[in-house]
Structure 1
Amino acid sequence: MTGLIEHLEHFLGRIQGGGPAGKTPEGNVVSLAVYEPVSEGGSVHYSTIGLSKLVRFSIAEGGETSTELLMTSSRPEASSVMGSILVQVTGESLESGEPLSAGDVIGPRGRMFDGSEMEAIFVRAPEHLPEAFSPLRVGDQDIQFLWLVPITGPEAQYINEHGVGAFESIVKQQRPAFEDVHRQSVI
């Protein structure tokens, strides 16, 4: 059985830093971790650690599941902003008491990165990582990982108007590099 941190470091790289990412109304803290790239020039990953211990929610099949959040950037210049976005989204989720789910769209809220068209966040499964990454079972707890993907305003609007399935069909055809905050919109 692998613990959460060991699991994250196995797939994302060694933790190189972090800090607080949010606080529950009861005062419990969720941490932010920043990982060293697995290979030179590789993507930098960011994740929450501890969200899964604080927030559990019911699933359709019965029982409960927990979530940790993840962001990924292939652009070193996006590093500080990525961490800030993850902290903001985590804090908002904790304050509202509503867990994020795959298919959620947050924003648009204006441009997030210099020279980038990204204005919103799309929540999806971390399909850029091996299948063994998610879910993770630790003791009696199932932990799902959700990938927070920066998207353009038109992409957010398309999801809101046509649904997640229609957007995912386009994604499947075009295979955008979601790790690149300077990528072109698929819409």
Structure 2
Amino acid sequence: MIIDHFEKFLGPIKQGWRDKNIQEGKPSLMIARFSNTPFENTSTYATIGLSDSLLYLPGDRQVKQELLFSAHDTYSAELISSFLLTFCDYVRSREWVLARGDVVGPSAPLIPGVAANAVFACPPVIFPDGIDLYKGESQPTIIVWLVPLVGNESSVVKQKGGSRFEGILEQSNPDLLDLNRLPVASD
């Protein structure tokens, strides 16, 4: 099960939320919170159930996907889980996988009171090796890390490309779990 996969790499689930607005015929969604991972005083949130919906890649190929999101524990776990449940509904509605370098946003803050207003899809490089792919079912599930973006970073990614932006992140080494950090790049 995908839950076992996440617990193998992130530790035991500390808290969970279910989508209360589930529509008939749609698979259920859950958000699981793992504490003190990837660092002390931070939490990682994993979607569980997004992979019950096949998502498209170019060329009409289909894949399964789950998402990871991490933030400092100073941010409301309930608000983050609510954002992720809503975000999963969006991903399901468009039926396309979030590929490396994809940006969703900018829009309103991800949760009230923070600067982060978009997300960037990338490999889960801050997590242990092996978390990025779950092979326990007939079709593998790709695990993607949603990096919160602030300021005009989403425009920078769209203009310069995901690989170049990843290089900017590596060079500047910002605290990507701080939803109120300063932007690392400008147009």
TM-score, scaled to structure 1: 0.84
Structure 1: give runs of 5+ residues left out of the alignment.
none
RMSD over aligned Cα atoms: 2.6
Aligned match of 2:27: 28
- Whether the 8 Å CA contact 1:121–1:150 is kept in 2: the answer is yes
Aligned match of 2:141: 143
CA shift at 1:71, angstroms?
0.6
CA shift at 1:98, angstroms?
2.3
1:15 matches 2:13:
yes
For residues 90-119 of structure 1, the C-alpha deviation after alignment (integer angstroms, 9 at most, x for no partner) is: 011112222222211111113335664211
Distance 1:4 1:107 in 2: 28
- Within the candidate set 57, 68, 71, 1:70 is matched to 68
CA shift at 1:132, angstroms?
1.6
Code of the residue aligned with 1:95 in structure 2: it is S
1:97 matches 2:95:
yes
Aligned match of 1:50: 49
- Within the candidate set 77, 80, 85, 2:78 is matched to 80
Distance 2:136 2:111 in 1: 35
- Whether the 8 Å CA contact 1:44–1:76 is kept in 2: the answer is no
Aligned match of 2:104: 106
Structure 2: give runs of 5+ residues left out of the alignment.
none
- Whether the 8 Å CA contact 1:25–1:94 is kept in 2: the answer is no
CA shift at 1:63, angstroms?
6.5
Code of the residue aligned with 1:101 in structure 2: it is A
CA shift at 1:89, angstroms?
0.9
Higher helix share: 1
SS in 2 for 1:68: strand
Higher strand share: 1
CA shift at 1:58, angstroms?
4.9
SS in 2 for 1:176: coil
